[in-house]
Structure 1
């Protein structure tokens, strides 16, 4: 298998889709919708607004004075903990849920391990109705 994607962004003979056959129609629908919707000015403007005014992007840099002194170099921390919901997961879920909304979907299903992705998905869905 090739290590780099082709011009369309696909990997290997099957395009990188190593999923059960039953999911192919839904993934094809999602892929087509993403290609169409993500290029629109309306989608880009709405996502940009959500990331700035709802998520709190961009998050600030914090100069860690004590850590810098200890390390002997200037150390800055990117404050991802200041994003609404407390984690970077919201960056992804806002785009996913906004895409689902533009597709006319009424439900979003999320995979979550420790819970942060689920929290971010719930927050995104609540914000977008």
Structure 2
């Protein structure tokens, strides 16, 4: 198997809150876990174009600001996968955020970083560790 490339995005409101989605029973992995957004990079696509497309698909929102935070090497055993995850902070207007893919997510909510819901997706803490302290 070859590694795949994904864009991972933590949407925020510019005032310190982050947007998380609860994975539905039909999600590929970890149903019921709260997670940020992500999607595969398509052939010929820039990172920013992929983030813009995925934020629109998942949250029906338009990014106001996109900032790259870092890169993670994600190796998982169940199911076996290897992703190179390019991580972004994305500011959106909270009024635009809605569930755009109800087959993947069944709830969407804003949280303060110190008051996150449970359970969190297994990959989320390492992603959130890349977020700067305070408003992005």
TM over 0.5: no
User: Larger Cα Rg: Structure 1 or Structure 2?
Assistant: 1
Instruction: Indicate the TM-score class for this superposition, using the shorter chain for normalisation.
Output: under 0.3
Q: TM-score, normalised by structure 1?
A: 0.23
